[in-house]
């Protein structure tokens, strides 16, 4: 009697399992497909084996073990049996390597940035200014309790932080207004100005030591060394943020390797000494300066303002707007500019020269597939107050522009500080096959010289003119701004995109969702990260072709990132 009851129970359970299998739905590569029903009997009505089996065992009680002989009727996916089961990593809970500070308006789009960086290697989180100020009780009428101070305090309190993104234009994410004075001997330069500095957030020293509400005065003694790499994604709309995100993903996953070793040098007349126009190209060409930092295998296109003497000899061409536009649209990985600028002019000569006034509008209308790192020491083209500057327009260009722009929020000092900072960045950028631009920014802050001289090309006179002193060092540090994502990778060497197909299957369970990710065998050894609604799954070395994770039933998308040796990144979001 007991045996008969058990047989009946097995038959009922098998029937239930088969029924559930026929009605299940799977997500494959982000699209829904229904499992085909087993129509082997209906398609073969004359199949003797099927008919005989039915006659010999009409009630399914004589040989219950045969009930599961059809693999389509198994509730277990055969891939699941050999899958690597990935457990959530505690790293996401305990680490914050990068922080994006933005507003509620941009929170959702910047979460995409955070997910991308997290699955490609840098644990990144988003915090809104509204949330920061809830706890800090911000009072913008009091410089000791304003929003800027609350943001800086929050950043300083985030342990292990290396990269800081300011997600929005100054109207959304404020900057700190500072005061400075700069003077060079021999009457070469003398400036006093109040301007905005994002370094305030990156340098953890006290910028208002005397408490008078005027920041970064000499008596405040700010250190002016960045503790974290800060970059501003200066967007005013969600659409602009979405556009830059698409550029960022393309740069990391589909960079044109034919353009990796292409660079462009742009030089204006820096100044005039003893009636001689000093071309910034001479700084580039000086031993140990800019060109010396660029690898020998790089193609260097030189566009210098026409002057006598003319630097570069027959290796350089004359600079004008048409040649600059053509060179950028040709496709460059790196552009270095030493010369002049203005809020509305990306590059220009002193005074009015329409042939060499490359405007922000021209920058916005660029159509270049490869987005370069554009490093400039020009005046004011990197400011982000009032209407959009030329640097902002370059970054937000809908069909081209740059992936990162380094410039100045006020008067740039060119060969008296800005060029030296850029040279230090280049040393770090070219030190390895790929580098993170924020690390190069930090390297330059630590290593920019506090004194330097330049030997201008005056015939029969060998004069080393002092161009960097404590004043110019201080001014340069405060005025430099990096527009773009500081976690952007600079590809020194050509590495191919990581193109692959990943199959993703998700199935509802009583506990939530079981997600299976199947990888091709050639990805063995790649570093895999999966991010699903606050849960990070980290597999440093992919060994099996199939990986299984369990997610909450409310999770609708997962982000997948892969890093393999000698390749670009892989990134994709899947609906589950």
What CATH number did the domain enclosing 456 receive?
Answer: 3.40.50.1460
Residue in the block written with tokens 């220009």: 348
242 belongs to a structural domain: no
Same-domain pairing of 191 and 275: no
Q: Over range 314-335, report the average pLDDT.
A: 98
Same-domain pairing of 206 and 334: no
Tokens of 480: 């430099």
Q: Over range 488-517, report the average pLDDT.
A: 94
* Residue-averaged pLDDT of the chain: 87
Q: Residues 415-455: pLDDT tens digits?
A: 999 999 999 999 999 999 999 999 999 999 999 999 999 88
Does 374 have pLDDT greater than 80? Answer: yes
Q: What is the pLDDT of residue 62?
A: 47
Spatial contact of 233 and 241, defined as CB atoms under 8 Å apart: yes
Higher-scoring residue by pLDDT: 10, 129: 129
Does 188 have pLDDT greater than 70? Answer: no
Same-domain pairing of 307 and 401: yes
Does 208 have pLDDT greater than 50? Answer: yes
Q: What is the pLDDT of residue 186?
A: 58
| DSSP letters spanning 351-383 | S--GGG-EEHHHHHT---SSPPEEEE--SSTT-
Q: What is the pLDDT of residue 385?
A: 87
Q: Over range 343-367, report the average pLDDT.
A: 94
Residue count (the chain)? 576
Same-domain pairing of 506 and 485: no
Q: Over range 38-56, report the average pLDDT.
A: 42
Question: 74 in helix, strand or coil?
Answer: coil
Q: Which domain does 142 fall in, by range?
A: 91-220
Among 199, 220, 241, residue at a domain's last position: 220
Same-domain pairing of 367 and 400: yes
29 belongs to a structural domain: no
Q: Over range 490-494, report the average pLDDT.
A: 98
Around 363, how many Cα atoms within 13 Å sit in the side-chain half-sphere?
29
Q: What is the pLDDT of residue 273?
A: 73
288 belongs to a structural domain: yes
Does 460 have pLDDT greater than 90? Answer: no
Same-domain pairing of 504 and 373: no
**Which residues, at least 6 apart from 266, have a Cβ–Cβ distance to it below 8 Å?**
303, 304, 319, 324, 335, 336, 337, 338, 339, 347
Same-domain pairing of 518 and 487: no
Q: What is the pLDDT of residue 61?
A: 46
Q: What is the pLDDT of residue 309?
A: 86
Q: What is the pLDDT of residue 465?
A: 80
278 — pLDDT class (breaks 50, 70, 90)? confident
Q: Residues 214-260: pLDDT tens digits?
A: 999 989 999 999 999 999 999 999 999 999 999 999 999 999 999 99
53 belongs to a structural domain: no
Same-domain pairing of 504 and 470: no
Among 443, 460, 491, residue at a domain's last position: 491
Does 5 have pLDDT greater than 80? Answer: no
37 belongs to a structural domain: no
Question: 111 in helix, strand or coil?
Answer: helix
Q: What is the pLDDT of residue 10?
A: 40
Same-domain pairing of 481 and 504: no
Same-domain pairing of 387 and 535: no
Q: How many helices (H) and strands (E) does the chain have?
A: 18, 33
Q: What CATH number does residue 545 fall under?
A: 2.60.40.2420
Rounded to an integer, what distance in angstroms lies between the CA atom of residue 337 and that of residue 302? 10
**CB neighbourhood size of 452 (10 A):** 21
Q: Residues 14-25: pLDDT tens digits?
A: 333 333 333 332
227 belongs to a structural domain: no
Does 461 have pLDDT greater than 80? Answer: no
80 — pLDDT class (breaks 50, 70, 90)? low
**CB neighbourhood size of 252 (10 A):** 23
Domain count, the chain: 3
Q: Over range 174-179, report the average pLDDT.
A: 96
Q: What is the pLDDT of residue 182?
A: 84
Does 38 have pLDDT greater than 90? Answer: no
13 belongs to a structural domain: no
Higher-scoring residue by pLDDT: 321, 51: 321
143 — pLDDT class (breaks 50, 70, 90)? confident
Q: What is the pLDDT of residue 238?
A: 98
Same-domain pairing of 277 and 323: yes
Over pLDDT 70: what percentage of the chain? 84
Residue 251 has phi, psi (to 5 degrees) of: -60, -35
171 belongs to a structural domain: yes
Rounded to an integer, what distance in angstroms lies between the CA atom of residue 123 and that of residue 18? 43
Q: Residues 516-562: pLDDT tens digits?
A: 999 999 999 999 999 998 999 999 999 988 999 999 999 999 999 99
Does 59 have pLDDT greater than 50? Answer: no
Q: What is the pLDDT of residue 487?
A: 98
Over pLDDT 90: what percentage of the chain? 74
Does 128 have pLDDT greater than 90? Answer: yes
Q: What CATH number does residue 181 fall under?
A: 3.40.50.10390
Q: Over range 187-210, report the average pLDDT.
A: 91
Q: What is the pLDDT of residue 274?
A: 72
Same-domain pairing of 130 and 207: yes
Pick the closest to residue 266 from 383, 363, 399 (CA basis). Answer: 363
112 — pLDDT class (breaks 50, 70, 90)? very high
Among 467, 491, 515, residue at a domain's last position: 491
Does 52 have pLDDT greater than 50? Answer: no
């Amino acid at each position: 009697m007991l045996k008969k009851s058990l047989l009946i129970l097995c038959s009922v359970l098998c029937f239930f399992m088969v029924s559930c299998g026929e009605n299940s739905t799977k997500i494959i590569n982000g699209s829904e497909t229904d499992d085909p029903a087993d129509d082997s009997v209906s398609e073969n009505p004359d199949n003797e084996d099927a008919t005989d089996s039915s006659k010999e065992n009409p009630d399914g009680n004589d040989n219950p073990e045969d009930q599961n002989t059809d693999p389509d009727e198994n509730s277990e996916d055969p891939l699941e049996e050999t899958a690597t089961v990935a457990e959530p990593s505690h790293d996401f809970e305990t680490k914050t390597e990068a922080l994006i500070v933005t507003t509620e308006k941009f929170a959702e789009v910047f979460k995409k940035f955070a997910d991308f960086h997290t699955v490609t290697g840098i644990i990144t989180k988003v915090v809104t200014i509204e949330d920061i100020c809830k706890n800090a009780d911000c009072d913008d009428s009091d410089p000791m309790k304003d929003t800027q101070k609350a943001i800086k305090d929050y950043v300083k309190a985030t342990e292990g932080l290396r990269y800081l993104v300011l997600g929005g234009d100054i109207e959304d994410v404020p900057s700190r207004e500072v005061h400075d004075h700069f003077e060079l001997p021999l009457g070469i330069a003398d400036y006093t100005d109040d301007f905005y500095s994002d370094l305030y957030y990156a340098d953890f020293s006290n910028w208002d030591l005397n408490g008078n509400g005027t920041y970064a005065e000499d008596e405040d003694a700010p250190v002016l060394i960045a503790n974290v790499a800060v970059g501003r994604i200066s967007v005013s709309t969600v659409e602009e943020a979405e556009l830059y995100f698409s550029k960022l993903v393309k740069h990391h996953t589909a960079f044109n390797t034919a353009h990796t070793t292409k660079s462009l040098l742009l030089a204006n007349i820096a100044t005039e000494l003893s009636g001689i126009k000093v071309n910034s190209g001479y700084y580039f060409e000086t031993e140990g300066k800019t060109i010396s930092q660029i690898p020998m295998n790089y193609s260097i296109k030189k566009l210098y303002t026409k002057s006598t003497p003319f630097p570069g000899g027959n290796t350089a061409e004359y600079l004008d707007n048409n040649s600059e536009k053509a060179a950028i649209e040709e496709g460059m990985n790196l552009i270095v500019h030493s010369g002049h600028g203005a809020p509305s002019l990306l590059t220009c000569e002193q005074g009015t020269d329409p042939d060499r006034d490359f405007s922000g509008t021209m920058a916005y209308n660029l159509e270049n597939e490869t987005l370069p790192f554009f490093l400039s020491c020009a005046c004011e083209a990197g400011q982000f107050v009032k209407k959009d500057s030329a640097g902002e327009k370059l970054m937000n260009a809908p069909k081209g522009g740059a992936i990162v722009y380094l410039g100045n929020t006020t008067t740039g000092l060119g060969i008296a500080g800005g060029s030296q900072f850029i040279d230090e960045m280049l040393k770090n950028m070219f030190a390895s096959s790929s580098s993170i631009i924020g690390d190069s920014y930090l390297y330059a802050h630590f290593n920019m010289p506090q004194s330097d001289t330049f030997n201008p090309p005056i015939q029969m006179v060998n004069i080393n003119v002092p161009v960097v002193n404590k004043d110019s060092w201080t001014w340069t540090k405060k005025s430099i701004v990096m527009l773009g994502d500081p976690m952007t990778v600079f590809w020194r060497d050509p590495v191919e995109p990581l193109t692959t197909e990943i199959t993703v299957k998700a199935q509802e369970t009583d506990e939530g969702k079981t997600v299976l990710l199947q990888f091709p065998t050639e990805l063995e050894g790649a570093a895999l990260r999966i991010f699903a609604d606050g849960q990070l799954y980290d597999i440093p070395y992919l060994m099996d072709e199939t990986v299984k994770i369990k997610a909450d039933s409310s999770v609708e998308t997962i982000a997948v990132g892969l890093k393999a040796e000698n390749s670009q990144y892989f990134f994709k979001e899947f609906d589950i």
